[in-house]
Chains A and B, each alone.
Chain A
């Protein structure tokens, strides 16, 4: 069975600085997809970024980028120029062809002024 591990329950960063959130996963499959979702205090689940396992190039979305290491089964999220609005729970998630999203336990990120 696939598992997703987020080893950092909480992180903090100062505004304008860079922070990296860790995620590792376990699977025997070669074709899958990885996601980072953000859940601010409003509770809404918001897609941050998506990575296809067959792509070697790391995905980027504005200030958000990933470091995808397929052999190490690692998928970290880097947030550059952190903003107060980035304060949220961040969930790493895995999906294969069954369409089930398997989530990690989340990392609570606090951005300080």
Chain B
């Protein structure tokens, strides 16, 4: 009965590789988000999607491409991985966009780029 799930939980890869992180929510929410938590624990939003449509795109390198096949899924694909991409990536969801609803987070994916 997991609300927001992410796979994988850990990802170790070499510089230059392409990798994806998957996120699924079973809460029936319309809006999903990706956040990045750096080595100093600072959390910053990257993207949000409302019902498969991109609504927030912070100044993230275009090597990062979110994809939402349906409103329950928001995947994050990263091309040409760099050392600085090492971080914990959190997916979150909320009921409706523009309504300041509470966001519920997944367990996070720790990405390590060697």
Contacts and interface: CB of A to CB of B under 8 A. Distances in A.
A and B assemble together: yes
A89 B100 contact: no
Query: Which of A33, A37, A101 gathers most chain B CB within 10 Å?
Result: A101
17 contacts: A35-B102, A39-B41, A43-B108, A45-B90, A47-B104, A89-B41, A97-B100, A99-B101, A100-B45, A100-B56, A101-B33, A101-B43, A101-B103, A103-B44, A105-B40, A105-B41, A106-B41
Contacts, number: 61
B52 to A, nearest CB: 16
A56 interface: no
Interface in B34-92: 35, 40-45, 48, 55-56, 58, 88, 90, 92
A30 interface: no
Interface of B: 31, 33, 35, 40-45, 48, 55-56, 58, 88, 90, 92, 94, 97-105, 107-108, 110
